[in-house]
Amino acid sequence: MTRTERFVQELARVGGTAAVLAPPEVPAHVAGLLRERGARGVLLAPDPLPGEPAWEPALREALEGEGVTVVRGAEDPAGLREVPAGITGALAGVAESGTLLLGGKPRGPWQWASLLPPLHVALVREERICASLDEAFCVLRESLQEGVEEFVWITGPSRTADIAITLLLGMHGPKELHVVVVS
């Protein structure tokens, strides 16, 4: 099994979904996801594919072409209360547990986009999928040295078992986590 296959499998185990796509297919795929859910707006965190600055305008264009309002995060999250979807990049993926590593400035758009809306779409480059947590931790250390301040490891959607020990998704954070692995 390749790393990507393992990643997709583990992610499914924790209730996330994934698609492995070539770069040109990504904007239409993401636009389609939003359309299916009737999401008219999206919070697009800057730099959705770390290291590929040209990507952001392409994605924005595709989404706007679908009639989706694209907002970029502001310092004040008050306006983001009802936003139905969020798109972020990811610094790394961990195949053995289906985990993503996200990072940025404290209270940055990456945090809000991956936390506030019911749908979180994350893009990760295939070569950033590490076999193990230890490997991904090296990425974390490097990112810190490059100025990324704060991090979150995300493994599946938000969940709770606090009501009568029943597993429920989407407690406080996203109910749906969709990862696009960009090959």
Nearer to other proteins, 38 or 141 (CB): 141
Give min distance, CB of 68 to other proteins, in A: 23
CA angle in degrees (0–180, nearest 5) for 21-22-25:
80
- Contacting residues for 147 by C-beta, under 8 A, at least 6 apart: none
Query: How far is 48 from 123, CA to CA, in rounded Å?
Result: 7
Tell me the one-letter amino acid at 182: V
Polymer length in residues for the chain: 183
Give min distance, CB of 163 to other proteins, in A: 4
Would you say 136 and 94 are in contact if contact means Cβ atoms under 8 Å apart? yes
Which residues form the interface with other proteins (CB under 8 A)? 10, 14, 77-78, 81, 96-97, 99, 106-107, 111, 115, 133-134, 137, 140-141, 144, 149-166, 168, 170-174
Give min distance, CB of 109 to other proteins, in A: 12
Give min distance, CB of 100 to other proteins, in A: 10
Nearer to other proteins, 22 or 164 (CB): 164
Nearer to other proteins, 37 or 65 (CB): 37
Nearer to other proteins, 24 or 106 (CB): 106
